[in-house]
Chain A
């Protein structure tokens, strides 16, 4: 159906009836020859035909039927809002061990849609039948136990909103690559409402022995990935999560069961969780020795860097965006801390020479993304946008220079410095590191 032109907006009664008849004819055509109808429709539609004073075509015929999508999808006009690999980085030798990035520059609020949660897998995404999934709890416990998923979901449940961030997020150690977007620089970051059972509840069922100081968490993927977790964290705010944002976990996030350690580096939040073993010492797995350790300038490696330090990033405007012209633009972004709540976010439009407070959007939750916003009247000249978070412990997000004084690219992980975006007079926004 082509849009109704201004000339046809005041039809006489007979004309309106003709219009109805025409619409029915066209719907029949769709049934008979959808392809031909689409072609004719495209040929008829002209730019501006859907704009006032015309009535747009989607008002002139019924839309898709109810239940045309039993599981709904985003509008086709949002097809570019997807996960992807990092620009400029060579494809990995295998996608079985790789990552994908959340499109932060296209998201709003603090919740990451399940299909856009970042991925990091070490041996592919397993297809696990929940009826055949088991969680084993053993080691330094009074009663070694095995749980079915039905058992796990029968425990008292709890829902909490927490961010997850891969500690390899944001590789701004070197000279900034201008073409990088917020997805490239910060996209190993997502935030969901997680539902599950408190790990302390499940561990109490097995009875943790006093000498247990560490807990090995093991996945049921092809990597059987393992990390050692301090018992203090396991008994504090850890969850065994089976749902995210209201539905069961996505396979990429550990279906049917994952460990969720609020504020801890992503890798410790073991997916497809099959085994918890209590021990007296850390198990020194590959992921906590040769990976996810920080090689310091003195050649010594720092391991067990669990807490994701306070960090923030402006997501709008950000790399790849283009401001349409001078005048009002809202600066918006997200801030978070693995140590607790965000206390303050400041923004700068002059590369950190001066700062002013941004408004924090409620809710402000512990170990969770907080959305911040600040009004900005762009004068049309070059500008450098930056944000700086302070968390409730008083920790202030460092500058890149300050971070580089302590460690450098050799440490790779836990880059949390202030992010700068350059705005050119043309309106083009690029990564300034």
Chain B
């Protein structure tokens, strides 16, 4: 029993010490971020599917949205000009003049969703609803032959898509630091 009391006392002492140390490391600046505040800003989506919002959209809806809000910069069928080409080029990455597009180069479907959601269209970022972002993503992936015309994308189906160049990336961090 005394042994146990001793252990508890030691544990309490350890907690007190750790609080004292961490408090000394801290300046008590800032305030807690509320769940609602975080939810409003936490817009990133990861390859695991984490961060993808509820909602869904299909290729046909995406085609209409693309024509209205994307085609003026990316071409009617994602062929590019004046801005980035989004479609084609699959299998050209070994060529002298590789064609880097969403279809040929981008390794993750979540990156497409994430980027459109945060930054597109250029003149009205964050104006598309999650449903619209799913739909536009579906259309761009359909144009690249990656999904079928009757595809409906949501958090689950989008994250499961394997992009053609999924295995085409290696990380230079940390091992290649200063190599040419």
Contact = CB atoms under 8 A, between A and B. Distances in A.
Contact of A304 (B22, B43, B110, B173): B173
Contacts of A122: 119
Interface in B152-180: 165, 168-174, 176-180
A302 B114 contact: no
A279 B44 CA distance: 11
Interface size class of chain B, counting residues whose CB lies under 8 Å from the partner chain: 35 or more
Interface string B105-128: 111101100110011001001100
Q: Is the interface of B mostly helix, strand, loop or mixed?
A: loop
A277 B44 contact: yes
B14 interface: no
Nearest to A144: B33
Given A147-B29, A300-B169, A339 B115 contact: no
Contacts of A277: 42, 44
Nearest to B29: A151
Nearest to B31: A146
Contacts of A309: 178-180
A310 B33 CA distance: 41
Contacts of B108: 284, 289
Contact of A146 (B33, B82, B102): B33
B177 A226 contact: no
A229 to B, nearest CB: 10
Contacts of B118: 223-224, 226
Nearest to A417: B180
Contacts of B31: 145-146
B122 A94 contact: yes
B98 A304 contact: no
A87 to B, nearest CB: 21
Contacts of B178: 307, 309-310, 337-339, 393, 395
Given A96-B122, A298-B94, A281 B173 contact: no
Contacts of A303: 169-172
A423 interface: no
Interface in A282-299: 282-286, 289-290, 293-295, 298-299
Given A299-B93, A307-B177, 15 more contacts: A93-B73, A137-B30, A144-B38, A205-B26, A205-B27, A224-B125, A226-B44, A226-B114, A301-B105, A302-B172, A302-B176, A339-B178, A395-B178, A406-B180, A410-B98
